[in-house]
C-alpha cells in the first residue's frame, strides 16, 4: 500500500481548529462540517446505500450516497469511486467494523490534499466527516482550542446543516 506523504517541504504547516468546514471539490460537495480527530488514523465520511461492483476492466468500485448536512437529507450526492482498500476500523466505542476505503481530494483551510477516507454510517455522530492523522500529517497542525479557522460557509448553508 502506498504511504501518504508528510508535510510538503515547500510550505509551513497550516493551523486548523478542532472542527472545520471542508470542501470535497471533485465530487460536488461544496461544504461539509468535519471534526478534526487526531485520535483517528484514517478519515471517515458518512455514506449510505453503498454498492460494491467491478467495472469492465475488473476494477473494484463503490457507489454510495453522501448527505453533507447534519440534520437534513437535502442535497444528497451520489458518488462512484474506485475501492482503494478495505480496513478493519475500531470505533471509539470499541466496535470493530470492516470498511471500504476510497481516495478523496479535500480542501481544508484553502489547502487541497488527498485523503484515504473510510465509508461508514455516521447518522448518530455529531459530524458527517472526520479528518484523521493520515490526512493531517500532510501539512496541518491542530489548535484544540480553536474552531473554524478556515471560515464558515454562507448563512444559508449553515442553516441547512441545522435542518432549517
Nearest-angstrom CA–CA distance, 7 and 150:
19
Per-residue pLDDT of the chain (164 residues; tens, 9 = 90+): 444 455 566 778 999 999 999 999 988 888 899 999 999 999 999 999 999 999 999 999 999 999 887 766 778 899 999 999 999 888 767 788 889 999 999 999 999 999 999 998 866 677 889 999 999 999 999 999 999 999 887 777 666 666 55
What global pTM score does this model have?
0.85
Measured distance CA(64)–CA(79) in Å, rounded:
5
Q: Annotate the chain with three-state secondary structure.
A: CCCCCCCCCCCCCEEEECEEEEEEHHHCEEEEEEEECCCCCCEEEECEEEEEEECCCCCEEEEEEECCCCCCCCCCEEEEEECCEEEEEECCCCCEEEEEEEEEEEEECCEEEEEEEEEECCCCCCCCEEECHHHHCCCEEEECCCCCCCCCCCHHHHHHHCCC
What are the grid coordinates assigned to 102, written together?
A: 476510497
Strands 29-36 and 96-108: unpaired
pLDDT of residue 12: 87
Amino acid at each position: 500500500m502506498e504511504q501518504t506523504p508528510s508535510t510538503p517541504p515547500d510550505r509551513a504547516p497550516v493551523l486548523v481548529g478542532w472542527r472545520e468546514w471542508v470542501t470535497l471539490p471533485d465530487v460536488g460537495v461544496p461544504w461539509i462540517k468535519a471534526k478534526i480527530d487526531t485520535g483517528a488514523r484514517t478519515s471517515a465520511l458518512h455514506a449510505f446505500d453503498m454498492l460494491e461492483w467491478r467495472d469492465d476492466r475488473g476494477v473494484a468500485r463503490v457507489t454510495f450516497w453522501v448527505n453533507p448536512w447534519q440534520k437534513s437529507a437535502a442535497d444528497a450526492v451520489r458518488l462512484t469511486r474506485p475501492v482503494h482498500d478495505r480496513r478493519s476500523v475500531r470505533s471509539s466505542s470499541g466496535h470493530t467494523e470492516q470498511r471500504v476505503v476510497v481516495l478523496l481530494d479535500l480542501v481544508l483551510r484553502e489547502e487541497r490534499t488527498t485523503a484515504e477516507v473510510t465509508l461508514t454510517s455516521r447518522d448518530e455522530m455529531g459530524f458527517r466527516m472526520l479528518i484523521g492523522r493520515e490526512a493531517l500529517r500532510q501539512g496541518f497542525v491542530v489548535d484544540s482550542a480553536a474552531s473554524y479557522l478556515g471560515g464558515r460557509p454562507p448563512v444559508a448553508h449553515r442553516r441547512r446543516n441545522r435542518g432549517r
